[in-house]
Amino acid sequence: YIDTMKEVNDGNRYVPLWNKTLYKLKHYRHIRNNYVHEVGTSQYDICTRDDIEWLNNFYKEIMKTTDPLARYRREKSSYKAVEDVKYIRYTEGGEGEQLQYQNVNSKSDDGEGLRLVNIILKFLIIMGISLAVVLFIMLMIS
């Protein structure tokens, strides 16, 4: 896990506390190595209850895929999907205005970027209609 985190150069850009987690994991690896290799050490001499709690929580994060590497992969793929959509051009079709989308960065056109843009546009349209309704009601009341 530590080696994989060290290979990632921009982890702290996508995951809060990336560097702190990496530092703690290295620290706990050091504690583990001392415990295993040094004669006369006991777990009570080299780790605290907080250490055990942190490691248990980290294990739970891994099991729930909310650990730093899982979050990094999710954030990185979300960021890439948004970056790949460069962007919308408007054209007039035979039946009024149409939106046409062009994914200019992606080498394979699997439609993921188009779906993302469609979702965003639908959300914006719904929010615009909702705002118009609220403003209309406010005008009617006053």
Cβ(113)–Cβ(84) below 8 Å: yes
pLDDT tens digit sequence for 41-96: 776 677 888 998 999 999 999 999 999 999 999 988 887 666 555 444 444 444 44
Mean pLDDT taken over the chain = 77
Picking from 14-23, 34-43, 71-80, 98-107, which range would have the lowest pLDDT averaged per residue? 98-107
Contact between 109 and 103 (Cβ < 8 Å): yes
pLDDT value at 110 more than 70: no
* 3-class DSSP state of 138: helix
**Dist CA 16 CA 68 (whole Å):** 8
d(CA 111, CA 105): 12
pLDDT at 138 over 70: yes
Read off the tokens for 74: 């999710």
The whole-angstrom separation of Cα 123 and Cα 129 is 10
Greater confidence (48 vs 122) lies with 48
Q: Which residue type occupies 74?
A: R
Residue that is written with structure tokens 């009617």 in the block: 140
